[in-house]
Amino acid sequence: MSNTLELTKQLISRKSLTPLDDGCLDIIGARLAPLAFGLEKMRHGEVDNLWARRGKASPVICFAGHTDVVPTGPVTKWDNDPFTPTVRDGMLYGRGTADMKGSIAAFVTAVERFVAEYPQHPGSIAMLLTSDEEGIAVDGTVRVVEALQARGEKLDYCIVGEPTCVGKLGDTIKNGRRGSLSGTLTVKGIQGHIAYPHLVKNPIHLAAPAIAELAATTWDNGNEYFPPTSWQISNIHGGTGATNVVPGTVEILFNFRHSTASTTEGLKAKVHAILDKHGLEYDLLWEMSGKPYLTARGDLVDAVASAIKQVTGVETELSTSGGTSDGRFIADICAQVIELGPLNATIHKLNECVAVADLDALSEIYYLTLVNLLVKNK
């Protein structure tokens, strides 16, 4: 059994349902300490975080990820216990195999090999791990980033181990993510009996033309890496439940998934301008859950793409699709952030799994990336 498979199985055996770590970070710390990593536990609320660093010089290459996993769903519908790692037909089954304990194990074994072969390597290697990524993500990576910012610590390169690949290991790198900006819009009217329309103001009718314009608006055209910004309504609530009452308000929940071609401030201003143009009386509460970030082609993308090509023969593609990740926080202290991990076909599903062969291949890709950035480019 390979070192990467063995470590992945150890981690899967821990019931680290978000926001619990259940000892995963201790297992990882025990592997990093003999490699001269300084280990710094950062606990916030119920969340355990680990910042580990080897070296003091630049460039700083960080591997980032999370030990927490989503709930299993009905355990009886799994082919094996989700926290009993099981190898069957070349696949490793268990909750967190792909998202993302396999990546974390590959981080560790790649670093172990690299340090053994290049004990006096230039630069620094770091790991940023949390148990609060699958949950509300308020006491995890964002807290570690804040602590590093406060003492002026910056990263040069970061690889987040999120499962990014679609059909074959290495076929997709995430080199950015769209931002997520949500709004709760309450349009006001006058409630009354539906049979006396001259005595009421129906907020649903009043809001409809503005909704139509918002839905038809081109917010931006995207760019080389991002599709155009999308505006979507997720919920509309209005009415008292009675069929003969015009409601006094209607509440509309909407969300932008936006590219770096737009700013948060610009999107907010456009929405307010459209609502004001239609003469609506309204309240609007905004919530930003993630800023967009982008890493263009450069040192990190080239180093990872070269490693993927060498290990798998695949010409990788760059993508910014999907939801948010902790990369959005790390981008505040790191100019180049990408995501690379195993296939994402089974993440969050019953019988989550990863190909055993992909674990060693992923470790090799991470190892060669370290070589490319710290040895070949020194």
Which residues participate in catalysis according to the annotation?
A: 68, 133
Q: Taking the CB of residue 167, how many other CB atoms lie within 10 A of it?
A: 9
User: What does the DSSP assignment read for 229-284?
Assistant: PEEEEEEEEE--S-TTEE-SEEEEEEEEEE-TTS-HHHHHHHHHHHHHHTT--EEE
Record the tokens describing residue 146, joined without a space.
Answer: 């804040």
- Provide the sign of the torsion angle of the four alpha carbons 303, 309, 314, 315, taken in this order: positive
How would you classify the pairing of strands 179-188 and 249-258? antiparallel
- Provide the sign of the torsion angle of the four alpha carbons 313, 324, 96, 48, taken in this order: positive
User: What does the DSSP assignment read for 91-124?
Assistant: EEESTTIIIIIHHHHHHHHHHHHHHHH-TT-SSE
Q: For the sheet containing 155-160, what is the strand order?
A: 38-44, 47-54, 124-130, 60-66, 155-160, 334-339, 172-174, 317-319
Phi, psi of 344 (to 5 degrees): -105, 15
Record the tokens describing residue 248, joined without a space.
Answer: 């006094």
Nearest to 231 by CA among 173, 185, 295: 185
39 dihedral zone (left: phi>0; alpha: psi -120 to 50; beta): beta
Phi, psi of 293 (to 5 degrees): -145, 155
Record the tokens describing residue 218, joined without a space.
Answer: 């081109």
Nearest to 355 by CA among 363, 347, 343, 341: 343
